[in-house]
């Protein structure tokens, strides 16, 4: 419910876990989702008028699709409920918690995407600037969608595959690149959700290692050489992860246009 940007609405989907995000920090008044049977508990921490209650749904994927079908604004922004802050990755590294600043950068991506008629937008998946290289290439048109993203226009007709628990976002990315060819990723900013698969409840508690592995195998068969799930060489085994091991092997750069640092 990003009031300053007409036709846009932001939501924090919560799945079978009480929210821990400091809602008082978000003056942009995004909507939050919750199960109808636990509505009273959610109401204790969610400001009036911002809670969307739904029937019993089997997964976070189902909630994402429910939100897409329920919210009528042209642009829908979904940010997972374990968001800690936004980190600026260009210039002096900074931790952004001011709600107006966060709202502005979300609105900026939404407006640019609307001006360019791009259906999906997101931000950096890592705060490691050696990987994202935000100074040399601040805007990317190929990147996996994950915990924070927006969808608008015809992309609102695109659903998340419920048969891919833990990997539906990545499949959504590939489907977007197939149908729209590009998305808009502003890698100057990183929405920090902490280490993945480390929460105490919600979707994490229902996603088994076997289901996750099966989803990965299905994606590999579906998209073949255009996806990779190999962990980067710099990651040590047993260390906490703030991003999933996945990369898109799709080129959207004209080979005649060569970027140079010189």
Span 143-198, pLDDT tens digits = 999 999 999 999 999 999 999 999 999 999 999 999 999 999 999 999 998 876 65
Please state the pTM of the whole predicted model.
0.82
On whether residue 259 sits in a domain, the answer given is no
Cα–Cα dist 253/83, whole Å: 32
On whether residue 66 sits in a domain, the answer given is yes
Is residue 32 within 8 A of residue 11, CB to CB? The reply is yes
Phi, psi for 148 (deg, rounded to 5): -140, 120
Q: How far does Cα 155 stand from its chain's mean position?
A: 14
> What's the number of CA atoms in the CB half-sphere (13 Å) around residue 51?
18
User: What is the pLDDT confidence band of residue 51, given thresholds at 50, 70 and 90?
Assistant: confident
What total of structural domains would you count in the chain?
1
Is residue 59 within 8 A of residue 15, CB to CB? The reply is yes
- The whole domain housing 186 covers 8-248
User: What is the pLDDT confidence band of residue 26, given thresholds at 50, 70 and 90?
Assistant: very low
On whether residue 182 sits in a domain, the answer given is yes
Cα–Cα dist 23/30, whole Å: 9
Annotate 48-95 with DSSP letters as a single string: TT-EEEE---SSHHHHHHHHHHH--SSEEEEE-TT--EEEE-SSS-EE
On whether residue 202 sits in a domain, the answer given is yes
Share of the chain above pLDDT 90, in %: 53
What's the CATH code of the domain at 202? 3.90.550
Cα–Cα dist 9/147, whole Å: 16
On whether residue 2 sits in a domain, the answer given is no
Q: Tens of pLDDT along 9-21?
A: 878 776 544 444 4
């Amino acid at each position: 419910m990003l009031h300053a940007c007409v036709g846009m609405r932001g939501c924090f989907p919560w799945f079978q876990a009480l929210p821990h995000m400091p809602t008082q920090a978000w003056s942009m008044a995004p909507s939050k989702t919750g199960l109808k049977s636990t509505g009273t508990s959610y109401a204790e921490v969610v400001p009036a008028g911002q809670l969307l209650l739904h029937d019993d749904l089997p997964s976070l994927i189902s909630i994402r699709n429910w939100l897409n079908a329920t919210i009528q604004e042209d642009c829908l922004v979904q940010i997972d409920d374990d968001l800690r802050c936004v980190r600026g990755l260009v210039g002096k590294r900074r931790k952004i918690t001011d709600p107006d600043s966060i709202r502005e950068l979300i609105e900026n991506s939404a407006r640019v995407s609307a001006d360019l008629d791009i259906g999906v937008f997101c931000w950096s998946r890592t705060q490691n600037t050696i990987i994202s290289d935000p100074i040399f290439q601040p805007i990317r048109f190929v990147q996996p969608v994950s915990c924070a993203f927006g969808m608008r226009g015809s992309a609102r007709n695109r659903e998340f595959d419920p048969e891919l628990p833990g990997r539906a976002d990545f499949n959504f990315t590939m489907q977007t690149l197939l149908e729209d060819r590009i998305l808009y990723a502003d890698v100057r900013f990183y929405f920090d959700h902490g280490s993945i698969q480390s929460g105490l409840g919600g979707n994490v508690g229902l996603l088994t290692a076997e289901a996750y592995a099966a989803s990965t195998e299905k994606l590999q068969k579906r998209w073949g050489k255009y996806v990779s799930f190999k962990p980067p060489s710099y990651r040590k085994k047993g260390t906490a992860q703030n991003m999933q091991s996945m990369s898109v092997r799709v080129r959207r750069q004209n080979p005649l246009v060569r970027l140079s640092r010189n």
